[in-house]
Structure 1
Amino acid sequence: MGKKHLHVIGFLLAALFLSMPTKAQTLENTYKRLRLNQQKAPAGNLPPELKGLEFDDFYGANYFPQKVEEPYAPIFYVFYMDNQSNTTINTVEFEYWFDNDRTNVKYKTRNDIQLAPGQSMEDGVGFISFEAPNDTRPHIITIKPYKVNGMEVDMGVRVKPFRQYFVEGTYRMPTHYVEVFADPTDKKAYDLYRGLATSIVTLQHKTKKKNCYELVTFVSQAGEATFKASQQENKLAKMYKIGEMPRMMVNRNLMTPYGTLNNHTQLEDLSTYSPAMKISSKVTDVYEYLLQRGFYGPAFAQMTPSVTKNSDGKFVCSITGQVSEQQETKGLRMNVYLVENNFIPETDEDGYVEIPDGTVYNKFVKMISPVEGYELKVNNDRTYTFATEPFAIEDFEADKYRLVASIIDPCTEQPYLASVLQSCGINVTNEQPAEVTMTTAQASGEISFTLAAKEANTPITIDWGDGIEVNYTLGTDFSEIKSDVKGTNLKIKGNITKLNCMANKLKVLDVSNCPKLEVLQAAYNYLSELDLTHSTELQNLEIFGSNSISELDLSHCKNLIRLVASQNFLSDLDVSKCPNLTYVDCSRMKRITELDLSSCHKIKHIIANECAIDKLTIPQDAPLEELSCTNNKLTSLDLTAFTQLKDVNCSGNPITSLKVSSPELLSLYSMETKLTSIDLSKLAKLKFLMLKGNTGITSLNLENNKELEELGFSSCKVNQIDLKPLKGLKKLWCSKNLFTTLDLSQNKEIALLDATECKLTTIAFPENNSTLEKALLSKNAFEAIAFENLSALKVINLRTNKLTKVELKGLSSLEELELSYNQLHSVNLKECPSLKQLGVTANGMSACELNTLYNQLPTLPTMPKKYNLYNGTKKDEAALTSKTSIATEKNWKVYVEGDGSGCADGIDNANADNTLSIVASEGLLRIHSPFAQSTIRVYTLDGKLLVQQHLNHQDTTISVPFDGACIVRCTDDISQNITTTKVVL
């Protein structure tokens, strides 16, 4: 599996049970049927800003739920993303429904993703849960990524079965796993392993649930960074065969990295049983892996440790928790021991770690509890509260030591055969818990926070406004906590490092007593001030939206990496003390006239739109990749120093000089500026170029920009353009320029053309093109034009030209055709079978000519609600007397309804090959000659010749500048036979 796809693994845990059991075989068959319905749609279409975003998930086949009492236990789901787009992903919204019932769609959003461009999502970040139906039937859940950053996306749907019932014991998969990591060459470790295997057998016998407990062994040689599963010669447990990465058993609550932990004679050096391994791109050891592993399912035992220091300098370790439904609660004991808080170093590029001789990691210091452990008293609701006796730690230093607590189930009277049900750990420190206070304007309803901590199992409390502190436990990944608001004054206590309090109508936010805060997302509140003088660890600050902060002191935020402060009332943004800043967004603050980033030598992304900036300072050694400074007051921009630059948007500035030469540049937007010329010669990778509204630009040299896909230079004064080098051009906007010819013959991927209001008289399309969908060519000077074999073309707009002839051949997809305000008297629509909208207003067509046009229209399946046939103005006599019923019978909604009176004779004679037929209308004569070649002469009644025209065919339309009766004479060129008739103009 490639590196990219390592991040597209997810899982679903559906763990819901009701009281009535279902027959095992029936359940198994039901599950098999559901599995056949699993679908996985490929990645779909994405907005341009999100191109490169990859999304996936993974469902294992072992959805074996545990019995729980909650009627609406959630469905747990993990998604993964690779963000190769050019924008940071902050929010992901899902829509989901059950059993293909699309009418009952529900939505769930994660608004704290923070996935930067080029970043891959780490394990566990994309965790989200969905509500499940409250019944015992099998279901299918359909999950669809719906919006990213508020923009609708199409990344397919995931249809997965899950089961919601009680599984009988004989069919239940193992719910308790013991994982042992050991070096078999170490006799002490291997003896311990054998004892642990014996305890599993005892536990199986004791509980009479042989299939609920399983032993998984991972074997490592000394110094290796990974484990491999190994077949051991014992018949006590089933072995898993896996790859080099240990399997993460998410539904386990019986586990240990080194067997029993309560025999001090075998705990002289825990590192003996803790070789290194690599998990989630982070190097750690088995001990640390055990303590930091996140537990998602309701079947787990829960443990929340805390440490307090007495006035006499002694410590007390307290633990609150809950034992899982599957575990016998009698006879449980609690062990607590002290280890040094140091970890195995990172591996090298080959995956190995070098451990110096004599080095001991996570060294065991002493047992805090007796060897046999403290008795653990569990309440009827399966909760417990535990505390040690006060104990001293010699040579105490903050964060030097860690306390580890383990719940022990002694399967026999011999302590060394005990099994660890659950472990947790906490650093020993003398720091006081952090505190965040807030005042909200929200009087009722739900309020929520998304929080994370530096360490797993970090205890916190939240006062929701009524003075009552409610306990919660945080992990290292963001977790959403919500409640009904119970007062205006809110408080969070605990060592949090990440806080998302967006859209909570906060008027006051005090984080001065939370110095370890690394992420603060407080957008869309009512804040007018924010004190960050104690936020020395802050890395990400987001205060955009409806806040009204006028001053922001960042002088103490030396670790700040990302700053989004747009839509506030700042008149100055001082980031001189933020040397690590890589991303800044200060848009929509009209008081800012200068942006000085001279101290930010790591800056990559600058977003400063809609300010009043007339001076922008960027250090020339910055690895700048993105600059967006639209609608400011900049008059010049020299970006030649930034060779990693990929995206520039300086539109809406009075810029007269723009210099950019980055070989990596992909997009350049400089619309509505004052440029008269621009050098694009060094931008070989440029894909998007927009120069609309630069009225001083008269020419463009695109010879070296062969990768261009989208080009816009409307409202310039370009008089000629060579597009031949742009083989991959897909979209072209070039309206309101001065060129008379446009050659697209080499642009075989062109999909959109807008050349409105130029001076065009000729145009060349690529032959047999299957990509062009729109051709917007109104307000030009075309007299004739041909569209041939453009199979994808859907829209043609030729309004207001000088057309007397238009050819439409092989246009199988054409839906909209606008030909109004030309000089056309006939249009052949026979090769436009998909036509749905037509405009021919003000062409001078007679009623008979309109009738001929109506006869060619394709029949539509239904009549549209809006007009789709514009046949003239409301005062157009020809339209009013045309026979529009021909069109309405084909389900065309006609703008001007006609009564059919204007072409009664003409229609009857129009196709008579042996008869001279003439229809007169508004100074025009529509003539059908009975001869193959003839000469038409029109005389006044007194013999004055008005018009003479030679015909090589039988039909023509002649304009006669005369009112009144006249004589029309048709002479056969071969036989000289003459046919004469009288008409009235």
Structure 2
Amino acid sequence: MIKRYRPLIILLFVALFPFWSQAQEIRLKTQKKIGSKISLTLYAEGDLSLSGVKETPTSSDSPQEYTLEQQEIVISGDLRRVKVSNSELTEISLQGCKMLEELDCSQNLLTTLNLAEASSLKKLFCYANNLTHLDLSACPLLEHLKCTNNQISVLKVGHLTKLKELTCSQNKISQLDLSKMKQLETLKCYRNQLASLDLSACTALEKLWCSENSLETLDLSHNDKLRVLWCYNNKLSTITTKELPNLLWLHCENNQLRSLDCSHMPKLDKLAVHSNAIKGEEMSALINSLPQKVGIKTSFLVIDTHNSQEKNICTANQVALASAKGWNVLDYCGGVNDHQGKKYNGSTTATSDLCSDREVNVLWTLEGILLYPIEKGAVVKVYNLSGGIVAEAIASHDAPLLLQLVTPSEGTLVVTLDGKLLRKITKGNRL
């Protein structure tokens, strides 16, 4: 039976094939004047046609300039990648674009974007438009999404399980469902209206920018791959962490923090914590938790003396302790020096818990550093001004303690007792 009708089946297939393989079509409307240039990047498999411009189209991953003959352009072909950014587009229509994988229509004047016929999209850049709504329900394969700087209030991304990069900053978003984003590596959601952010499923997350929202807590206990964290200008009173072995940068300034523990951040070398409420023992605890750094450029923005609401206090003794650990202690100073700050010598505010109040004599002798009297169990560490530890010991009994320097040292050394600054000492001087 099948053999009998095989010729008819073949004829039917040939007749219908043009409809099944109908070329994809994209229509663009622009406010650019006729005769002006427009830059298009078009990559298609097979033939490519283009109407509304003077030149013959070129299939390429590089941008090509075309001269407008009309303010409406029609692109036809088996399109895979299209870039038409910064072109004063007011409208873009996608028809039958089932094979389109990448679309960049950023920096235009779009108010709507219909993606219902773009089910193969893996990369979508539509940032810097006037979009108020973005329906991604037909795009389950998306891996990279950039929709920054629009007017979007609701962004449904819960079904995008393949997403690796989500950049949705500078919108009006109040909620984000990230519960299925196990592959997400980069999240930029700053300058929105988020009151909470659940990152527990985002175990691959490496970079997080969630600044300028209304977050009160931030739980990072499931995000041990984080390398960069910017969470400034929120309402954070706590940052919950577990192990962040790869974290390099932490910017948590302008919040409501009273304490911060960095003891599980061994690679940290840039910390901005100014404009919070950390002082006294909590400031000392923060400094003691900082990783020891030697020969690495560090930045510890601890205070902003130009901020009248600043509640942090970091004394000269605490600055010395941080410096002894290899940290460059800085005053943000209202953003001076391209937001890098300037050297900070510390507050003169007197508080009993800012440094050790024990009456211990310290002397730099030919044999080493001598301390007396000293209590059993006391932990003594001696640093050079580069942050290197040159001597350390735990007193085994109540008696004078002599620490031999592991490396020859000159100049000034910093002596700490049980994690608090005890003395600065210069060779040959008793302080």
**CA displacement 1:539-590 (0-9 Å, x = unmatched):** xxxxxxxxxxxxxxxxxxxxxxxxxxxxxxxxxxxxxxxxxxxxxxxxxxx9
Counterparts in 2 of 1:626 and 1:839: CA distance versus 1, 3 Å: closer
Determine which of 593, 596, 620 is the counterpart of 2:36: 593
Structure 1 runs, 4 residues or longer, greater than 6 Å off: 622-627, 629-634
1:724 and 2:161 matched: no
1:828 and 2:261 matched: yes
Alignment of 1:653-668 (within 5 A): 653-661=87-95, 662-668=97-103
1:758 and 2:201 matched: no
Greater Rg over alpha carbons, structure:
1
Residues 869 and 892 in structure 1, CA contact (< 8 A), matched pair in contact too: yes
1:870 and 2:301 matched: yes
Partners of 1:650 and 1:632 in 2: CA distance: 14
Counterparts in 2 of 1:658 and 1:647: CA distance versus 1, 3 Å: same
**Offset of residue 898 of structure 1:** 4.0
Name the residue aligned to 1:710: 144
**Offset of residue 779 of structure 1:** 1.1
Partners of 2:330 and 2:238 in 1: CA distance: 24
Partners of 1:591 and 1:736 in 2: CA distance: 33
1:616 and 2:53 matched: yes
Name the residue aligned to 2:283: 850
Letter in 1 for 2:301: Y
- Give the secondary structure class of the aligned counterpart of 2:172: coil
Determine which of 91, 95, 119 is the counterpart of 1:684: 119
Partners of 2:159 and 2:55 in 1: CA distance: 35
Partners of 1:894 and 1:632 in 2: CA distance: 56
Residues 55 and 67 in structure 2, CA contact (< 8 A), matched pair in contact too: no
**CA displacement 1:15-69 (0-9 Å, x = unmatched):** xxxxxxxxxxxxxxxxxxxxxxxxxxxxxxxxxxxxxxxxxxxxxxxxxxxxxxx
Counterparts in 2 of 1:888 and 1:698: CA distance versus 1, 3 Å: same
Letter in 1 for 2:180: Q
Unpaired runs of at least 5, structure 1 = 1-589, 596-601, 607-613, 911-985
Residues 751 and 774 in structure 1, CA contact (< 8 A), matched pair in contact too: yes
- Give the secondary structure class of the aligned counterpart of 2:241: strand
**Offset of residue 628 of structure 1:** 4.8
Q: Give the TM-score normalised by structure 2.
A: 0.62
Name the residue aligned to 2:86: 652
**Offset of residue 855 of structure 1:** 1.0
Partners of 1:694 and 1:674 in 2: CA distance: 5
Alignment of 1:53-72 (within 5 A): none
Name the residue aligned to 1:779: 212
Letter in 2 for 1:780: N
Partners of 2:67 and 2:284 in 1: CA distance: 57
Partners of 1:784 and 1:718 in 2: CA distance: 24
**Offset of residue 644 of structure 1:** 0.5
Name the residue aligned to 1:748: 182
**Offset of residue 752 of structure 1:** 1.0
Larger RCO, structure (CA 8 Å, separation 6 or more): 2
**Offset of residue 717 of structure 1:** 0.8
**CA displacement 1:134-161 (0-9 Å, x = unmatched):** xxxxxxxxxxxxxxxxxxxxxxxxxxxx
Partners of 2:159 and 2:190 in 1: CA distance: 23
1:670 and 2:117 matched: no
Residues 778 and 797 in structure 1, CA contact (< 8 A), matched pair in contact too: yes
Counterparts in 2 of 1:888 and 1:752: CA distance versus 1, 3 Å: same
Q: Give the TM-score normalised by structure 1.
A: 0.28
**CA displacement 1:340-384 (0-9 Å, x = unmatched):** xxxxxxxxxxxxxxxxxxxxxxxxxxxxxxxxxxxxxxxxxxxxx
Residues 250 and 271 in structure 2, CA contact (< 8 A), matched pair in contact too: yes
**CA displacement 1:836-894 (0-9 Å, x = unmatched):** 11101111322443222111111123241xx5110012466823556112211111111
**Offset of residue 831 of structure 1:** 2.5
Alignment of 1:164-179 (within 5 A): none
**CA displacement 1:287-326 (0-9 Å, x = unmatched):** xxxxxxxxxxxxxxxxxxxxxxxxxxxxxxxxxxxxxxxx
1:879 and 2:326 matched: no
Residues 810 and 832 in structure 1, CA contact (< 8 A), matched pair in contact too: yes
**CA displacement 1:377-430 (0-9 Å, x = unmatched):** xxxxxxxxxxxxxxxxxxxxxxxxxxxxxxxxxxxxxxxxxxxxxxxxxxxxxx
Counterparts in 2 of 1:846 and 1:718: CA distance versus 1, 3 Å: same
**Offset of residue 632 of structure 1:** 8.5
Partners of 1:719 and 1:853 in 2: CA distance: 38
Give the length in aligned residue pairs: 300
Residues 823 and 844 in structure 1, CA contact (< 8 A), matched pair in contact too: yes
**Offset of residue 706 of structure 1:** 1.4
Name the residue aligned to 1:215: none
Counterparts in 2 of 1:677 and 1:638: CA distance versus 1, 3 Å: farther
Counterparts in 2 of 1:653 and 1:594: CA distance versus 1, 3 Å: closer
1:906 and 2:353 matched: yes
Counterparts in 2 of 1:886 and 1:603: CA distance versus 1, 3 Å: same
Counterparts in 2 of 1:872 and 1:708: CA distance versus 1, 3 Å: same
Alignment of 1:350-429 (within 5 A): none
1:799 and 2:232 matched: yes
**Offset of residue 799 of structure 1:** 1.1
Name the residue aligned to 1:840: 273
Counterparts in 2 of 1:856 and 1:626: CA distance versus 1, 3 Å: closer
How much is the aligned-residue C-alpha RMSD, in angstroms? Answer: 3.3
Residues 848 and 882 in structure 1, CA contact (< 8 A), matched pair in contact too: no
Counterparts in 2 of 1:631 and 1:894: CA distance versus 1, 3 Å: farther
